[in-house]
Structure 1
Amino acid sequence: MTEALPEARAFAAHDHSHCAGDTLARAEAEAARQGLRLTPVRKRTLEILLEAHRAMGAYEVLDRLAAEGFGNQPPVAYRALEFLVEHGLAHRVRRLNAFAACMHPGEEHAPVFLICRECDAVAEAAAAPVRAALDSVAQDLGFAIERANIEALGLCPACAEHQE
């Protein structure tokens, strides 16, 4: 039996500690490959995002960091989050004004974020065909896309089940 892709497990019951641990190890390897300094606060910020397995606001991350002695000033969280986003280790989920750990660190990918409107769970799904279609439409108009953030709002399987 083949193992499900990470995006297939996002809304399903799975060994989250294994999932988070694997992603953290890939993120650390990617940081080393890029020659980045993954300071204790940056690493802990990424761990917090992975532990939550959902998008988190900067102040929610800050509260966790402060409780663990990393400081309680907003720049502590914002700088760490911006670093992680800038280097492809986390994503900004604009719909929620929040951040989520990248589940594919070091891989070239075009994610789509599937956001549950009930529980705010977020799944990062690979969406190369969606990005290819977007690039094609833009090219037809002579537009060069530099960055795209695709987000879809709906119901995760658990919340959809409760709606029935």
Structure 2
Amino acid sequence: MPHAHHSDACPGCAAAPQAAFARHDHSHCSGDVLARAEALAAEQGVKLTPVRRRVLEILLEEHRALGAYDVLQRLAGEGFGNQPPVAYRALDFLVENGLAHRIRRLNAFAACMHPGEAHAPAFLICRACNHVAEAPAAPVREALDHAAAALGFAIERSNIEALGLCPACRGAGA
């Protein structure tokens, strides 16, 4: 399915994956995503509790995937408690409700930049700085579905992750 974009989405984060690695007004895009996440939670009848909201805000602060332990340290430092289930429950909630993605290669989590939109992103992961961008993966998924169908296989779920270097790290000779 094609990846739809909101007209008010931050061009640096949501509309153009290559720009997600560039300098841009990140506060605009994170604020926009947070507002859409709150609307989506209300629409789905689920509660974005203070700890869930704070975890989403932490994930939105950078285009970097964070491990549950990193999130837990931030929560503990802000008085939300230091027990691992606090972070894991909030992260699981965000993933289950389409507000975050699990980046399996990094065993980490990243905020979904397109909450509420039907999309199957490919994750572009910089091996040097761990910044992550979502790229539309519909053509890749269609090719994969076609190749699988030729073997009589029906794909139910896929997770596409590509490892490489972002423009900044390529420029720095990483």
- TM normalised by structure 1 equals 0.94
Percent of counterpart pairs with the same letter? 74
| Distance in 2, Cα, partners of 1:6 & 1:25 | 20
Which residue of 1 is the match for residue 138 of structure 2?
128
Counting only pairs closer than 5 Å after superposition, residues 131-142 of structure 1 correspond to structure 2 as 131-142=141-152
Change (3 A) 1:148 1:120: same
Q: Where does residue 170 of structure 2 map in the other structure?
A: 160
Query: Is 1:40–2:45 an aligned residue pair?
Result: no
Q: Residue type of the partner of 1:99?
A: F
Q: Displacement, 1:133?
A: 1.0
Match runs of 1:58-77 below 5 Å:
58-77=68-87
Segment of structure 1 superposing worse, 15-24 or 4-13: 4-13
Aligned length: 163
- Quote the residue 2:103 is aligned against: 93
Q: What letter corresponds to residue 18 of structure 2 in structure 1?
A: A
Q: Is the 8 A contact 1:6 1:103 kept in 2?
A: no
What's the counterpart of residue 25 of structure 1?
35
Q: Matched residue of 2:61: which SS? A: helix
**Deviation of residue 64 (structure 1)?**
0.5
After TM superposition, give the deviation of residue 89 of structure 1 in Å: 0.5
Q: What is residue 8 of structure 1 aligned with on the other side?
A: 18
1:140-162 CA-to-partner distances (Å, cap 9, x unmatched) read 22222222110000000000001
Taking structure 2 as the reference length, what is the TM-score of the superposition?
A: 0.89
For the residues of structure 2 that align with 1:87 and 1:146, how far apart are their CA atoms?
A: 18
- RMSD of the alignment, in Å? 1.6
Runs of at least 5 residues in structure 2 that lack an aligned partner in the other structure: 1-7
2:85 maps to amino acid: P
Q: Matched residues in 1 for 2:72 and 2:109: separation? A: 12
C-alpha distance in structure 2 between counterparts of 1:100 and 1:24, whole Å: 13
Deviation at 1:134, TM superposition (A): 1.2
Unaligned runs of 5+ in 1: none
Q: Who is 1:119 aligned against?
A: 129
